[in-house]
Amino acid sequence: MTTMTANAKPRRKALAKPPAKRATKKDQLIRMLRSAAGADVAAMGTKLGWQTHTVRAALTGLRKAGHEVVTEKPGQGKPTRYRIVGTPVATASADAAATDSLETIDAR
């Protein structure tokens, strides 16, 4: 007969599958921008809990990462809408950074 001490923890059953990865705010932003209508800064800020300058900085980051972010001005008095078209492309700066890191590794 097996006895358990006061400090022993009962064994957990193995999970059938690992828990799903939560969507990051960047993933949520990309999903919003991939929709046909796109999104405006106010909607993105409300959805993600960001201020307007943070939304604009994230858009710049997506552009630098190779996403093609299109700006659309729907009309007078309406907010500017942003959309992602196409798939991300490698940028020259990303290629240069990869090359620099490879050269550093080779130098060792």
- pLDDT tens per residue across span 60-91: 999 999 999 999 998 899 999 999 998 877 65
Domains of the chain: 25-107 (1.10.10)
What pLDDT does 3 receive?
60
Mean pLDDT of the chain: 81
Q: Record the tokens describing residue 64, joined without a space.
A: 């630098």
Name the pairing type of β-strands 81-85 and 68-72: antiparallel
pLDDT digits (tens, 9 = 90+) for 5-25: 667 666 776 666 777 788 899
Does the pTM of the predicted model rise above 0.75? Answer: no
Whether 92 shows a pLDDT value over 60: the answer reads no
What string of H, E and C letters represents the secondary structure of 22-83?
Answer: CCCHHHHHHHHHHCCCCEEHHHHHHHHCCCHHHHHHHHHHHHHCCCEEEEECCCCCCCCEEE
Q: Rounded to an integer, what distance in angstroms lies between the CA atom of residue 98 and that of residue 108?
A: 16
Q: Rounded to an integer, what distance in angstroms lies between the CA atom of residue 64 and that of residue 61?
A: 5
